[in-house]
Structure 1
């Protein structure tokens, strides 16, 4: 099958959306599909307001249309709701080309956290964007239910996986003599609720890996915390292997792929009992979910690293990609009208 994926999120960004699309493309190619992508990489781009580390390509609509025409995909998947996704959606609707979309992050909650914009306005935009999509792929059953509640498209489950070869147990690269190391990995921004972790009175060290709009202010506010900045996917395992507990303070993530990466490296997780962690961690004994994040952190220290790794091994990118492929819509099944 010839598959074209449109995404406003791509390298050099390091986040769950990029890693998900990278591994999905890799597995699709391994299965014998022909896969191409349209990303901001080759185009003129500008920093996203309040997120300068994320760049978008606002003037690439003509190039998007040309790519779709020239590639003639059997299946078109629009992964994001940014400028490239909007251009692809506009062309597909105009030409009666069927397409699928995805919902990776709790976009309305993020926008509200940063701007105060009411949820209803953002969800109205999402309702419009995904209305013409044959299927909206989402990472967990909780998100399927949430989109149904907001009357957004036709949500279907597309689970996630973890690269068990890259993310694997090993010797600590940066051992500490100050006690347990509590690690958080992700975008340093208000919607990640990072201060709920940084403000905790914990014995040991607090590490943060990631970049974002709040990095400078949080470094100044919490001088005892070690901020490493952004690291590549290949560098991340060294930080996971060196820590004792992975702390996931976010209450807005739809999935939280970093939790699986941490557990694949043998790192137990501490998180709030909210959507995202509940869907990823389930009832495993390899993590602690508690409304008091400090309690979760202190209890997670005692969890076996072997137990965490064993749980992560139940997640496969191959299985996740097979589910993705099953949701794609072939143009031959939906011939143009007229």
Structure 2
């Protein structure tokens, strides 16, 4: 199959959506499929207001359509609701060509936190975007229930995986800090509720790995916290292994791939009992969920690493790729014959 994935979230961004899409692409290629990714790097782009790490493509339906025609795909998947996603949707709908979509990010909650926009307004626009797809893929039962509550249809499950050959127990980074080490990995941004973690009165050391628009502000506000910047590859894995507990304070994530990565390394998770942690940790014993995050941290510390590892092993990339392929909608033969952009 020749597959075109269209996404506003792509390298050099580092986040769960990019890791999910890039791993899915790599696994599909390993199976013999041809996969092309159309991201902001293929267009002139500009930094996202209030979030310069994210690049926004300066594109139109016509310019995106030229790339779609050049790719000559057998199927198209639109992963995000940004400028590229909307332009691709417009071009494909005009030609009555099918596509699938996926719901990764709680933009309604992000927009409310950043700009005060009511969630009902942004949910309406995002629902309209996905209504054009033959199938909208979701990652967890909790997310499906939320989407149904907001009137989304044509929902198809697409579970997530974690590479447990990479994220596994082994040598840890020798961090010279007082234990227990409480680790956060992810964007340093208001929608991640990271201050809920930073202000906890818990013994030991808080360590933050990642970057984002709040880093400078929070580094100044919490001088006792160790902000280590972005880590990648084996370096990131060693930092996971160094932790006594992984703290996930977000209330807005649809999944939280970093929790799976931590558990793959044998590290327990402390989080709120909300969408994401309820599906990833749940009642597995691989951590603790509590509205009192400090209590969750204390209860999670000391969890058997094997319990954490076994939970991560239940999230298979093979199953994830199987479901993604099953959800795609192939184009009719010679669908683009005679098309002009």
Check whether TM > 0.5. Answer: yes
Task: Report what 1:314 is aligned to.
Answer: 314
Count of aligned positions: 336
**2:1 matched to 1:8?**
no
2:120, 2:100 → 1: CA distance? 23
CA contact (8 A) 2:43 2:58 kept: no
The CA deviation string for residues 83-117 of structure 1, in whole angstroms up to 9 with x for no partner, is 11111111100111000011101110011011110
Query: What is the CA distance between 1:38 and its match in structure 2?
Result: 0.3
Q: Which runs of 5+ in 2 are unaligned?
A: 337-341
Q: Which runs of 5+ in 1 are unaligned?
A: none
Moved more, 224-233 or 195-204: 224-233
1:85, 1:221 → 2: CA distance? 37
Query: What is the CA distance between 1:62 and its match in structure 2?
Result: 3.7
CA contact (8 A) 1:43 1:60 kept: no
* Residues 116-265 of structure 1: pairs in structure 2 closer than 5 A: 116-265=116-265
CA contact (8 A) 1:126 1:152 kept: no
Q: Which runs of structure 1 show a deviation greater than 3 angstroms over 4 or more consecutive aligned residues?
A: 60-63, 333-336
SS in 1 for 2:54: strand
Query: What is the CA distance between 1:299 and its match in structure 2?
Result: 1.2
* Residues 265-276 of structure 1: pairs in structure 2 closer than 5 A: 265-276=265-276
Query: What is the CA distance between 1:177 and its match in structure 2?
Result: 4.8
1:282, 1:334 → 2: CA distance? 47
CA contact (8 A) 1:264 1:313 kept: yes
Query: What is the CA distance between 1:59 and its match in structure 2?
Result: 2.9
2:177, 2:219 → 1: CA distance? 22
Query: What is the CA distance between 1:234 and its match in structure 2?
Result: 4.2
1:333, 1:279 → 2: CA distance? 39
Task: Report what 2:339 is aligned to.
Answer: none
1:95, 1:269 → 2: CA distance? 47
Task: Report what 2:111 is aligned to.
Answer: 111
Task: Report what 2:88 is aligned to.
Answer: 88
**2:104 matched to 1:101?**
no
SS in 1 for 2:270: strand
* Residues 54-65 of structure 1: pairs in structure 2 closer than 5 A: 54-59=54-59, 61-65=61-65
After superposition, the Cα gap between the structure-2 partners of 1:119 and 1:177, relative to the gap in structure 1 and judged at 3 Å, is: closer
SS in 1 for 2:200: coil
Q: RMSD of the TM alignment (CA)?
A: 1.6
CA contact (8 A) 1:139 1:159 kept: yes
